[in-house]
Amino acid sequence: MSTGVYTPRPGAAPLSRMIAAQAALETKLLLRNGEQLLLTVIIPSVVLALFSAVDVIDTGAGERVDFLAPGAIALAVLATSFTGQAIGTGFDRRYGVLKRLGASPLPRFALMAAKTASVLLTQILQIALLSVIAAALGWSPRGNGLYAAVLILLATAAFSGLGLLMAGTLKAEATLAAANLVFIILMVIGGVLVPLAKFPSAVQSLLELLPITALSEGLRDVLQHGAGMPWPEAGVLAVWAVVGLGLAARFFRWE
Amino acid sequence: MHSTPAVETTALIKRYGDKTALDGLTLTAARGTVTALLGPNGAGKTTTVEICEGYRRPDAGTVRVLGLDPHRDAAALRPRIGVMLQEGGVYPGARAVEMLRHMAKLHAHPLDTDALIERLGLASTGRTPFRRLSGGQKQRLALATAVVGRPELVFLDEPTAGLDPQARHATWDLIRELRADGVSVILTTHYMHEAEELADAVAIIDEGRLVVHGTPEELCRGGAENTMRFSGRPGLDTASLLKALPSRSAAVELTAGSYRVTGDITPELLATVTTWCAQNGVLPDRITVERRTLEDVFLELTGKELRA
């Protein structure tokens, strides 16, 4: 047969190229989305800069920025891996993107790998930006950065699982509303801005079980106080990661 | 050329709750052809296509696409097929070029995306995100993503629904080019005209069953629906005309000087009628031949209007 423009020549691209392309596109779309940028970049940056510079919150002993920088990093991780992921994936699902990709050569695990890579890449950019802002405000982090990285990875897994659970079960509009609401509530009660010590002690022990609290307190232990690996917080995050990802894997509906 | 058909389903059954979407659908689509699944809304067209694409599993029956099981052999099948969903399938914030380039990157030997964008008239969409494209632009982008990977077989679910005539013709042209280059095409439609224009084979589906399958030519031929009319002098001897015609024909004078012949209207029959007119010294005028359309076939076989 003669060869025409459309003469079949099917074949999947190499897996690594598919994942790289998928991760690049997802990151590009996320960084282009105004609402997502507000959530992932602007709010954590403003929280850090404003409350470090202005004395409206009693952050306890020590420099305010040393208390707030780990909180702002925790908030940025929450924004990207939970809220952003839930809203983005919810709308991808509503627009049939997940369905369409399901008939493409890209395997599902590769799609999830690409989404994870995109989230981690975004978080690296966020943490770099927040570190620059914090440094300008006189931040002097202590401790082992590796411990902080482990906490952030565990939290990313936990938040992603919960975000995908929401995106894969609720309507896109419901996810949009709920994910933003959860973000705001956790920002206030999750030890991000307000020290846990300000809450009644009965409430405190409950709040300590939240993944956002475990992340912000764990990061503070390491980066503010120079502590070793905060195992209790890491344990809380690991449990949330197992539960969240397990539920998402069980209940996520692709269309 | 190919030993296996593009699509082969046997006695497919699919239920959603109490509703039976497919009720024993058996269908074969040959390679290198355009097969149109024609039927009213809710007939089971999309369910059939989505089972072939691997999105749904039938409750009973078998399906083979390019000889493969869409579910078990999904990884092997997906690179070989192209899919256009009835709607959506594109990131709301992505630009047309961006999405098409991305889909191209998932394939080993994709088409030239710039040429395809140009070909489908999407170059003017520039930086506009998908969610703000017009309905026609969205459809054409979805079509482009279905063909960009140079598939052997494409599934197009209502590829021209809601398009204006110009955009519809552009889509038809592309489908004809696909077939000319050896791509098999399965499309669903509820436009008769689309099936007549494009399809090598038409499968009429109603209530989850295959009602009839054949070329548009075959489906429209035969039956008592075909009619020829002519006018002439009033009071011609229709009994003598009938003797000249093949059996199973009928000839009547409807109103004075207005005649109707029904039956299998062939070129030979037309010649017989005009010869008979010549022998009787009649110059027939206003000769018309009315053939069945797919619309008539559909109405006859299912007892319902297609776009009910």
Last residue of a domain, one of B161, B195, B218: B218
Q: How many CA atoms lie within 13 A of A231 on its CB side?
A: 0
Q: Answer yes or no: do A12 and B107 touch at CB < 8 A.
A: yes
| Structure confidence at residue B224 (pLDDT) | 46
Give pLDDT tens digits for A160-216: 999 999 999 999 999 999 999 999 999 999 989 889 988 999 999 999 999 999 999
Instruction: Measure B304 CA to nearest chain A CA, in Å.
Output: 32
Which residue do the tokens 């397990």 mark?
A246
Q: Rounded distance, CA B219 to CA A228, Å?
A: 80
Query: In tens digits, what is the pLDDT along chain B, a chain of 308 residues?
Result: 567 999 999 999 999 999 999 999 999 999 999 999 998 888 999 999 999 999 999 999 999 999 999 999 999 999 999 999 998 999 999 999 999 999 999 999 999 999 999 999 999 999 999 999 999 999 999 999 999 999 999 999 999 988 888 889 989 999 999 999 999 999 999 888 899 889 999 999 999 999 989 998 888 775 546 788 999 999 999 999 999 998 888 899 988 899 999 888 888 888 999 999 999 999 998 898 887 777 778 877 777 766 54
Closest alpha carbon within chain B to A24: B102
| Structure confidence at residue B277 (pLDDT) | 93
**DSSP annotation of B261:** E
Residue A34 makes CB contacts below 8 A (sequence gap 6+) with: none
> Strand, helix or coil at A84?
helix
Closest alpha carbon within chain B to A97: B89
Instruction: Measure A226 CA to nearest chain B CA, in Å.
Output: 43
Q: Answer yes or no: do A10 and B105 touch at CB < 8 A.
A: no
Provide the residue type at B278 as one letter.
A
Q: Are residues B14 and B156 in the same domain?
A: yes
| Structure confidence at residue B308 (pLDDT) | 45
- List alpha helices for B124-212, DSSP H: 135-147, 165-180, 192-198
Does the beta carbon of A17 lie under 8 angstroms from any beta carbon of chain B?
Answer: yes
Instruction: Measure A8 CA to nearest chain B CA, in Å.
Output: 5
**Number of folded domains that form chain A:** 1
Structure tokens given for A200: 């009644």
**DSSP annotation of B200:** S
| Kind of pairing between the strands at B184-189 and B153-157 | parallel
Q: Are residues B152 and B271 in the same domain?
A: no
| ipTM of the complex model | 0.87
Q: Are residues B110 and B38 in the same domain?
A: yes
| Kind of pairing between the strands at B60-65 and B7-16 | antiparallel
Q: Are residues B100 and B240 in the same domain?
A: no
Contacts of A12 in chain B (CB under 8 A): 78-79, 106-108
For residue B281, what are the domain limits? 227-291
| Structure confidence at residue B196 (pLDDT) | 87
Nearest to A18 among B83, B106, B151 (CB): B106
Q: Are residues B256 and B141 in the same domain?
A: no
- Residue A22 confidence (pLDDT) above 70: yes
**DSSP annotation of B125:** G
Q: Is residue B308 part of a domain?
A: no
Q: Is residue A38 part of a domain?
A: yes
Q: Are residues B251 and B186 in the same domain?
A: no
| Structure confidence at residue A2 (pLDDT) | 60
Nearest to B183 among A8, A18, A102 (CB): A8
Please work out, in degrees rounded to the nearest 5, the angle formed at the alpha carbon of residue B38 by the alpha carbons of B36 and B40. 155
Q: Rounded distance, CA B113 to CA B16, Å?
A: 39
Question: What integer best gives the mean pLDDT of chain A?
Answer: 93
- The CATH code of the domain that includes B62 is 3.40.50.300
Nearest to A105 among B55, B106, B115 (CB): B106
Give pLDDT tens digits for B98-149: 999 999 999 999 999 999 999 999 999 999 999 999 999 999 999 999 999 9
| Structure confidence at residue B113 (pLDDT) | 97
Q: Would you say the C-alpha torsion A38, A41, A44, A48 has a positive or negative sign?
A: negative
Q: What is the mean pLDDT of residues A215-220?
A: 96
Enter the pTM of the model: 0.85
Residue B195 makes CB contacts below 8 A (sequence gap 6+) with: B36, B38, B189, B202, B216, B294
